Amino acid sequence: MTQTGAARAAGYANPNVRAVQLLNNPVVKERMEEMRTELESKYGVNITKSVRDMQMLRDEAWAAGNYNAAIKAEELRLKVTGLMVARSHVTHENVDAMSRDEITLKLQEVMDRAKSRMIDVTPEQKTIEAEEIIVTCDSKESVKTGDNMEEGALDPPSEAL
């Protein structure tokens, strides 16, 4: 169950906000650490072992050519270590009180902020130039292929017909 799901199940009116507030509470943090320690000692599971196991599974999947499983294992490993965080930012704007121009300006700010965070992963376009290849036919004639191909150069010799 997620933190938001737990806050919702507990009956909080605004579970998203309340979940974050509870997770920042020092008493809640301390209790969560106690519970984590209890589970680690009871089941022999800890973050270090989980990260090591996920890395092993990732490597095995990669070696077997199962790239989807390898990517998923790496994603989970990064999430466990905290290097990958699914972030969402909730802002509360009263758009009913805003004019059309204010809304347009606000949307542009959001788009500019998002654009500044994006990384361009578009692959570069590579052009392949035609090669010049010398082809020797049975009649010992040499012809060029590629951009400078002679018309009828690959036709069979007339004595073969």
Which pLDDT score, from 0 to 100, does residue 47 have? Answer: 80
Q: What is the separation, in whole angstroms, between the first and last Cα of the chain? A: 80
pLDDT average, residue stretch 68-96: 77
pLDDT digits (tens, 9 = 90+) for 116-148: 877 776 777 776 676 676 666 665 555 555 554
**Distances in whole angstroms, Cα of residue 77 to Cα of each of 87, 89, 91:** 17, 23, 30
Tokens, residue 132:
């010049």
In the block, tokens 């010049």 appear at: 132
pLDDT digits (tens, 9 = 90+) for 98-119: 788 888 888 888 888 888 877 7
